Every structure is written in C-alpha cells, then in structure tokens.
Structure 1
Amino acid sequence: MALERQVRAKLAGKRDREQEKEAQEWIESILGKKFPPNEAYEDVLRDGQVLCELMNKVAPGSIPKINTSGGQFKMMENINVFQKALKDYGVADTDVFQTVDLWEKKDISQVTTTLFSLGRATYKHPEWKGPWLGPKPADECKRDFTEEQLRAGQSVIGLQAGSNKGATQAGQSLGATRKILLGK
C-alpha cells in the first residue's frame, strides 16, 4: 500500500498543471462548453465521453457511438474507441496513453501528452481550421547527395570524433589498494 502511494506521488509530480490547463482550454474551445468548475480535469475526462466528443469534432464521424451509461466497462470502452480513433487520425501508437492511465488515474500526465499529440496531428490535416494545440511539427527536410559527395565524406574524420593520439591508461590507478591484515 505504501509503495502504491509512493508511485502515485511520483506520477503526480510529473504532472504539468499549465499543460493540463492549456489542453483543457483547447478542448473547451473545440466543444464550445466549459468543464464543470468544481470537477478536476482528470475526472471530466475519465469516462471518455468528452474525449469521444472531441474526436468527433476533430474528425467528424470517427466515433459513431459514445456510451453515456452502462457502468465502468462501457465507459472504458469510450476510452478504447477514442484511442483507436486517435491512431486512425495519425497519432503515433507510442504517443497514446494506456486506458488505466486515465481510468485508474495512474498517469494523467501521459493523457495530457496524448492530447498534445492529437493537437500536433491536426496540423497535418488541411481540413482542420483550428484551434491548435502545441507547436506545429517541422516538415521533413529531405536531402539528396550524389555518390561522389557521400564518398568524399568517408575520408573525413569528424571534429566530434576527436583524436586518439597518446590515449593510453599509463599511470592510471585502477582504484584504491586494499591492505589485508592478518590477526593472531
């Protein structure tokens, strides 16, 4: 029990309240409604309904049915369909939180990270007209080198590689010596 409390405290320490506030404001502006003032960020998101509504605004029709009742399994199903819709929209699998991160409030910072990943993914969809969340991802900077240019680079030693002149371990101590005293 004490270990679980320590883990929760450590994860709570990872949370960035400013990012959570930014993500909440982004969701509110897209949905056109505010979170209840007396409810915590993670509690509003926990049943997945708000997340599903958000996804349907970002990618209309991506979640055909949102469960509004039916117990915890139906609410967790909302989270699962939201996660699938995220991946279909272009959010990398590695950026998507685990269901327990939200449902059991194990890692709310990961939920916020996922929302920022969704925000970045919207930049890649020209049909999305905003609002935006997070910085615009950089475009690929593709370079084409000729075979001659590639061969020329093989004979150059990079400055970061440095030099190995005089690199020996001569005079280096391998640690403190131990004296063993034998008692009588």
Structure 2
Amino acid sequence: MATNRATKSGFAAEAQRKVNAKYSEELAQECLEWIRTITNEDINCGGDMDNFYEVLKDGTLLCRLVNCIQSGSVKKINNTTMAFKCMENINAFLETAKVLGVPAQETFQTVDLWERQNLNSVVICIQSLGRKAGNFGKPSIGPKEAEKNERHFSEDKLKAGQSIIGLQMGSNKGANQSGINFGNTRHM
C-alpha cells in the first residue's frame, strides 16, 4: 500500500504533484454519486482524494458496480483486506470494464488505485464506464456517447474527387529544378 513506500522527492515528487494536480474533485464526486445510484449502496460521496481512495481502494465496490451493470461479470469478489486479493478485485473490474466497451487508453493500472499513484486515471475510467452504462439500460454520466455517422458515396462521386487537386497541394506551374544545388560544390 502507499503507506509502506518512502516519500517521493526530487523529480519523482514533482511528477507526482503534476499527476495529482489533474485530479478533479467535482468529477470524482460525480463518479461516486453515480456508483451509489447504480449499486444502491450507502457510500460517502465526497470528492476529495482521501475519501475517493478509501471508498474504492479494495476493489469490492468496483466489482459490485460492474456486476450491477451486467450481472455475473465478476464471478468472485474477494472480501479480504490482503493486498494481492484487493488488487485481484481491481484487476477483475478493469478486465470487465474493457469487455463492457471501455477503451484500453481510458483504463488505469491496478497500482494507480491500490498505491494511490494516479487517482485521476481512475476517475477517467469510471467516467468512461458511466458513458457505456447507457448501452446496458443503466443511468449514464458524462458527455453523451457519440453516434456513428457513416457516409456512402457513389462510384461517380468518388471518381470525380480523384481528379480534383486540393489547394493544400499547391501548384508547380513553370517550376523546374535548375537553381537547386544543395550539397554540390562549385565546379571549376
């Protein structure tokens, strides 16, 4: 856990401060309130880092959350406080979140939550899961999921587009390479 580590100093401390500065208490509070709505559990919905970490650190609530979104997603939830069992819970949540449609770039690593390394990435993952929950008939949070806007063009339209020279390509009317001598020395 984070309490067993030495305090960071120098570049590591500076990097950790930058990571912690990205954390938004408002978004974290919105995530906790959404989790409370989905799971019907009485949890403290304060958005400060300490509360957010304490509520989610063992992974049991996260596992119950994905089980409420899609029942039976996580088969076994470990209710012990042993480190590797808690990290197993967090990992089970992450794997299920990916199955439910959360992109890999919006997930977090187990240590980001367990060792309190990057709680902002945990918030991002829960927000992404919250957007995907709407696809399973559950209340969603965050911005609405984008809809596919596929366009179909006829063969004639596609061929007409190939004959147009875009203005970004420029024009080379009358240009030649007569004055270019990069790398050449003067010949005598």
Residue-by-residue CA offset, 1:16-59 (whole Å, 9 max, x unaligned): 22111111110111122332478611221111011011111111
Q: 2:82 aligns with which of 67, 71, 78?
A: 71
Cα RMSD for the two superposed structures = 2.2
> Do structure 1's residue 140 and structure 2's residue 129 form an aligned pair?
no
- Whether the aligned pair in 1 keeps the contact of 2:132 and 2:140 (CA below 8 Å) is no
Deviation at 1:123, TM superposition (A): 2.5
Q: Supply the distance in 1 between the matched residues of 2:159 and 2:78 (Cα, whole angstroms).
A: 60
Q: Does 2:93 align with 1:82?
A: yes
1:60-139 equivalence runs, <5 A: 60-125=71-136, 128=137, 130-139=138-147
Distance apart, 1:102 and its partner CA: 0.7
- The CA deviation at 1:109 is 0.8
Find runs of 4+ consecutive structure 1 residues off by over 3 angstroms: 36-39, 162-166
Q: Which amino acid aligns with 2:14?
A: Q
Secondary structure of the residue aligned to 2:135 is: coil
Q: Find out whether 1:32 has 2:43 as its counterpart.
A: no
Alignment match of 2:64 (pick from 53, 58, 62) = 53
Task: Tell me which residue corresponds to 1:4.
Answer: 12
Deviations 1:103-140 (A, max 9, x none): 11111111111111111112233xx2x32111221211
SS of equivalent residue, structure 1 residue 124 = helix
Question: Would the aligned equivalents of 2:133 and 2:139 in 1 still touch at CA under 8 Å?
Answer: no
Number of residue-to-residue matches in the alignment: 163
Tell me the equivalent position of 2:53.
42
- Secondary structure at the aligned position of 1:40 is classed as helix
**Contact kept? 2:53, 2:113, Cα under 8 Å:** yes
Question: Which residue is 2:165 aligned to?
Answer: 157
Indicate conservation of the 8 Å contact 2:78/2:85, yes or no.
yes
How far has the Cα of 1:94 moved from its partner? 2.1
Cα separation, partners in 2 of 1:81 and 1:37, compared to 1, 3 Å = closer
In the superposition, relative to structure 1, how do residues 153 and 42 fare at CA in structure 2: closer, same or farther (>3 Å)?
Answer: same
**Alpha-carbon distance in structure 2 between the residues aligned to 1:71 and 1:97:** 21
CA contact (8 A) 2:31 2:123 kept: yes
